[in-house]
Amino acid sequence: MTHYVPPISVTSKRLALDNEKLRRANAKVTTATAYQRGDLLVLSDANVLTHAIDEKVWDVICGQDVTVEEATIKAAAEIEIPVYYGGVFNIEAVSLNGTVLAAAKYDAARAKATKNKIELSKV
The domains of the chain, with CATH numbers, are 19-121 (2.40.300.10)
Which of left, alpha, beta for 35 (phi over 0: left; psi -120 to 50: alpha)? beta
Residue 118: which of 13, 12, 15, 11 has the closest Cα? Answer: 15
Check: pTM over 0.75? Answer yes or no: yes
Give residue 10's pLDDT: 45
- Summarised one tens digit per residue, pLDDT across range 82-99 is 999 999 999 999 999 999
pLDDT in tens, 6-57: 665 445 577 877 776 778 999 999 999 999 999 999 999 999 999 999 999 9
